[in-house]
Amino acid sequence: MHGKGDHAPWWVFVLDLVMINASMVLAYVLRYRLQWFLDAAYDAPFSAYLPFSLMFSIVVPVLLWVTRGYHHWRGRIWLGRAFRVSNAVVIAMIVALAWSFITRPLVYSRLLLFEGGIFMIMLLSLDRGIALLVQARQRRQGKGLKRILIVGAGEVGRRVMRTVVARPDLGYEIVGYVDDNPEKGDGRIGRFPGLGTVDNLPTVIDEREVDEVIITLPWTYHRRILSVLRACARRNVRARLVPDLFQMSLSRVEVGDLGGVPLVEIREISFS
């Protein structure tokens, strides 16, 4: 069985916690020791802000998880990850401000929380850049590769192949492709072998230990696409489409990308 998910490595979560608390320490130094932007009317120990550090350490990772900031990690560009971080931190800051308004702590600086939020966005975005560099290096060395099968050998399918070849940092290894055109399905495209027709999909998935299927068929072949999706769902293999037309319910899809190639994942498939 092959898992559908593609989550961030565990050490990214640990690094997030370190960066969140480091941000609060930096904000405290900036506010009470260096006193940039505005002089502090009173001195306060860092221990007074430990409840806020704990709150951010819980709320920010939870929001990132809920908004899928730790999901579908492979192939997502740094800017998209930084955007999710910014959203999570801003919401966490609003929660912290609301909590402080309700509880009215004796020691409280809105400027410190604001500075802490800015540092969090910067440092959490930085650790995602570090993760990208580390994983890109590992994948160029052949570690952590995901084996993919392409359905369809038309121009869209060839574009996916070119993207994977040009972007080894994405961590994909193409095992081959299937196509109902005999000339394509039994031939080769560059170094990638044709593995028969689409009907061979279940056998190819099992024999080639496929982790993910990318469908590049035009939407006019919607019945064929649905049969591929059902076959992948039965084997717990993730399937994504390169869309040509969005003639489907957007509430049931999740949009992603593979090195700039748009991909659509169907969240649930009916077997009826």
Name the DSSP class of 34: I
Q: pLDDT tens string for the chain (272 positions)?
A: 444 447 888 899 999 999 999 999 999 999 887 776 665 556 778 888 999 999 999 999 999 999 989 987 776 788 889 999 999 999 999 999 998 888 877 777 888 999 999 999 999 999 999 988 888 788 777 787 899 999 999 888 998 999 888 888 788 999 999 999 988 888 999 999 999 999 999 999 999 999 999 999 987 888 899 999 999 999 999 998 887 643 444 344 465 666 666 666 655 555 44
The set of residues, in sequence order, having a beta carbon less than 8 Å from that of 64 and lying 6+ positions away, is: 16, 70, 84, 85, 88
Burial class (CB in 10 A: 0-12, 13-18, 19+), 39: exposed
For residue 4, what pLDDT is reported? 44
The set of residues, in sequence order, having a beta carbon less than 8 Å from that of 132 and lying 6+ positions away, is: 78, 169
For residue 143, what pLDDT is reported? 80
For residue 271, what pLDDT is reported? 45
For residue 244, what pLDDT is reported? 60
* Long-range CB pairs of 41-44, under 8 A, 24+ apart, other chains included: 44/107, 44/109
Residues β-bridged to residue 258 = 261
Cα–Cα distances (Å) from 207 to 79, 124, 202, 204, in that order, read 37, 40, 9, 5
Tokens 């480091």 locate to 22
For residue 71, what pLDDT is reported? 83
